[in-house]
A and B are shown apart, each in its own frame.
Chain A
Amino acid sequence: MNIRQQRPFAYLVAFVVAGVILGNLFGSWVYFTVTIFSLSILVMSVRSLPPKEFKIDIERGSAEEGKDVYVDDELEITINIKNEGGKIRFLEIHDIIPGLLEVVEGSNHQVLELDEGEERELNYKISCPINGNFELGPVSLRYRDALNLFSNEMEIEEEMELRVLPRTEDMQKIDLDPSYTKHWLGEVKSKSIGVGSEFFAIREYQPGDELRDINWKATAKYFDPLTNEYEGERSGDVILIVDGYEEGIVGTMENNTMRASIDVAASLAEVLLSARHRVGLIISGEYMNWVYPGTGRNHYHKIMSNLTKFERGGTWGLEGIKWLLEEFFPRKSMIILVSPLTVPSYSSTLIDLCMKEYDVVLISPDPLKIEKEVMEDEEYEETAERLYSAERERLLEKLWDHGTTVVDWDPTEPLEPTLEEVLRYRHRRR
């Protein structure tokens, strides 16, 4: 730690020097007076010099530490400050937080006076408008004298990691089931006998049948042990694909098609996992990240963790994802691609996937709606808007014709109503 001189000190020294130079230059006693006066202040200011060392103990904590924090949640941060040295006056404390976090209550920047051994608490609340991994800290301390002639600074490496998860939309009413099911237990009714809850038929009792499956009423009627058969309930594999291709992203840092895509993927992962499907995830961004299909609460956290730490960028387009799907992921899975579809080559890749018996659903956040929201009152070129809308409509119709279920979604509105309507149409088509 070094004691530093601040700008007012420099000005006082400038007065001293200017007084001497100008006094000699103009031969006037008046200038020498400012030299004397400035030197007097400098001499007297030595009495409030900052201490060379100050011993401060800092501890940061939060009531929500260890818990999941979601976008726009408020998090209370508490900093305990203990002075283990002599009395400190005018101690400036600044808890450095990333620029994307907002302080909604209190302040992370304060000035305190601490007696020897005194302990104080600094509280403030933060909120994050976007998901991601963040690091709070370090804590910067600065001693300033009242005249701000000198200062002494130190940084205390007290960091705290914060993981902000994307906010999920409640979509429990959505009936989004894969066309092809696998042999493990789920909630999709298969057209074959198996483990389930819907009654299918009665048959003769066979050794090994569960006692609870015996139909006692029928058995009493026909004097022959009879067993219930149920309609099999299966689950399938669903692969969520989030398009984070840099050139295809539209919008600002806080409000863009990628953020909308991540929120949708998080909501769908929750819905699909609760329906006991096996859910996998592929994200193309700075790196290609994937999570192999799985089930359960831990798997959900794994997916959310990957969505949270996702960074846009890279050069992996849909072709790269297609290769990954074909090589490493189960066949006949349902593919849910969340993409604004701003890259022209995506349509041919999607059609190709449909041809290879993948059940493809495209949820496309309309980039035009986000752009209009971002631009607010600025003038919008109507002709360009109509041209783009027509082009987009043509593309989506082409994909429908080739077997892709397309959800053209306005990201400024909830997804559930639009998705529900499209799925109803999809079921009717089948």
Chain B
Amino acid sequence: MERWFISFLVLLAAITMSLFSPATVYRSFPLIFGLVSVIGYILKKLFVFDTGIFFTIISYLFANSGISPSVYNLLVIMMFFFLLIGIWFYARSTLFISGIEGISSDEYDIGLSMFRRSSLNEILTTILMGVLLSILASFIVLYSSLGITMSSLTETLLMIVLSVSVFFITFLVIKLFSLEKIKTGRDS
């Protein structure tokens, strides 16, 4: 169940990234590489999955390389990057758990369940802190290096709130699904 959900998330993120890209020839690249990573995840081929995610992000940047430097565009790119990176880390964690062989015992269930919750919390905390640091760093870079004038303060704050809200909603959805009883052994 969890495996299919994460595959769906990756695919959904890849589709959304393609849709949010300008209508050029390269628009479909994030989707193609997203499919590669989904195939790698389903087949439990870690290298294929990792490489697929890497090229999904790079191809998304490539497809969007011509967009104008604005706060809105910056936040959209940031949102997709951190969303995909967060899913990537969590997916690797589930692959690692499914790689641990074993037959059911209560202690084993509890141990894995605790590991799963702890790792999810840790991933989300790190991602969130990364987002905050990125926002700060990006604004500084944008404003100081590229000489872009910022839009009005209200619009800027609204963009920040919106992007962080999207992130939190995703976090809540993942957390809700991760609360179901963990099946031992390989993912079913």
Residues of A bordering B, CB below 8 Å: 7-8, 11, 14-15, 18, 22, 26, 28-34, 36-37, 39-41, 43-45, 47-48, 89-90, 103-107, 109-113, 123-124, 144-148
Question: Does B151 reach chain A (CB closer than 8 Å)?
Answer: no
B121 cross-chain contacts in A, Cβ below 8 A: 146
Interface-forming stretch among B8-16, B57-65, B162-170, B172-180?
A: B57-65
Q: Tell me how far the C-beta of A428 lies from the nearest C-beta in chain B, rounded to whole angstroms.
A: 54
The 8 Å CB contact of A148, one of B96, B120, B146, is B96
Mark each residue of chain B from 88 to 129: 1 if its CB lies under 8 Å from any CB of chain A, else 0.
110011001100111101011001101100111111001101
Neighbour of A107 across the interface among B78, B101, B120, CB < 8 A: B101
Tell me which residues across on chain A come within 8 A of B85, comparing CB atoms.
Answer: 37, 41
Task: Please tell me if the beta carbons of A43 and B111 are within 8 angstroms of each other in the complex.
Answer: no
What CA separation (Å) do A105 and B65 show in the bound complex? Answer: 55
* Most chain B beta-carbon neighbours within 10 Å: one of A14, A111, A113: A111
Partner of B134, one of A11, A37, A105: A37
A31 touches B61 (CB 8 A): yes
Give the contacting residue for A22; candidates B61, B88, B93, B118; CB below 8 A: B61
Q: List B residues at the A interface (Cβ < 8 Å).
A: 46, 50, 53-54, 57-58, 61-62, 64-67, 69, 74, 77-78, 81-82, 85, 88-89, 92-93, 96-97, 100-103, 105, 107-108, 111-112, 114-115, 118-123, 126-127, 129-131, 133-134, 137-138, 141-142, 146
Measured between beta carbons, the chain A residues less than 8 angstroms from B129 are 40, 44
Contact pick for B93, options A123, A124, A148, CB 8 Å: A148
**Contact at B118–A36, with CB atoms within 8 Å?**
no
B50: A residues at CB distance < 8 A: 7-8, 11
Return the chain A residue nearest B65 by Cβ. A28
A67 to B122, CA, bound (A): 46
Chain B residues whose C-beta falls within 8 Å of the C-beta of A36 in the assembled complex: 134, 137-138, 141
A residues near B61, Cβ cutoff 8 Å: 22, 30-31, 33-34
Q: Are B112 and A148 in contact (CB under 8 A)?
A: no
Cα distance, A8 to B92, chains bound together (Å): 9
For the complex formed, measure the closest distance between the CB of B79 and the CB atoms of chain A, giving whole angstroms.
11
Q: How far is the CB of A44 from chain B (nearest CB, A)?
A: 4
A30 and B77 in contact (CB under 8 A), knowing A44-B129, A111-B112, A146-B122?
yes
Enumerate 18 A-B pairs (CB-CB under 8 Å) in ascending A order: A7-B50, A11-B53, A15-B54, A29-B142, A30-B77, A32-B141, A33-B78, A33-B81, A37-B130, A44-B126, A44-B130, A106-B102, A107-B108, A111-B111, A124-B102, A144-B96, A146-B89, A147-B122
Question: In angstroms, how far is the closest chain A Cβ from the Cβ of B72?
Answer: 13
CA distance A169 to B105 in the complex (A): 34
B105 to chain A, nearest CB (A): 5
On whether the beta carbons of A113 and B114 are closer than 8 Å, the reply is: yes
- Structural contact, A105 and B103, CB atoms closer than 8 A: yes
* Interchain CB contact under 8 A, B65 and A110: no
- Is B146 a contact of A48 with CB atoms below 8 Å? no
Give the residue among A36, A112, A113, A144 with the most B Cβ atoms within 10 A.
A36
Kindly provide the distance from the CB of A339 to the nearest chain B CB, expressed in whole angstroms.
39
Closest chain-A Cβ to B41's Cβ sits at a distance in Å of: 14
Q: In the complex, what's the smallest C-beta–C-beta distance from A191 to chain B, in angstroms? A: 61
The interface centre, meaning the residue of A7, A37, A48, A145 with most chain B CB atoms within 10 A of its CB, is A37
- When A and B form their complex, which 5 residue pairs have the shortest distance between CB atoms, in order from nearest? A107-B102, A146-B122, A146-B119, A40-B133, A28-B65
Determine the chain A residues whose CB is within 8 A of the CB of B100 once the complex forms: 107, 109-111
- Report how far A265 CA is from B40 CA in the complex, Å: 51
Q: Which residues of A contact B46 (CB under 8 A)?
A: 7
Q: Which A residue's beta carbon lies closest to that of B115?
A: A111
A105 touches B81 (CB 8 A): no
> Chain B residues with Cβ under 8 A from A48's Cβ?
122, 126
CA of A89 to CA of B123, assembled, Å: 14
Find chain A residues with CB under 8 A from B119 CB.
Answer: 90, 146
A11-B50, A41-B85 known; A147-B108 Cβ under 8 A: no
Q: Given A32-B141, A34-B57, A107-B103, does the pair A44, B112 have CB atoms closer than 8 Å?
A: no
* Smallest beta-carbon distance A114→chain B, Å: 11
Decide if A37 touches B81 in the complex (CB within 8 Å): yes
- Please determine whether A146 and B123 come into contact, CB atoms closer than 8 angstroms: yes
For residue A146, give the distance in angstroms from its CB to the closest CB of chain B.
3
A109 in contact with B115 given A30-B67, A30-B77, A44-B130 (CB within 8 Å):
no
User: What is the CB-to-nearest-CB distance from A268 to chain B, in angstroms, rounded to a whole number?
Assistant: 37
A36 to B119 alpha-carbon distance, docked (Å): 24
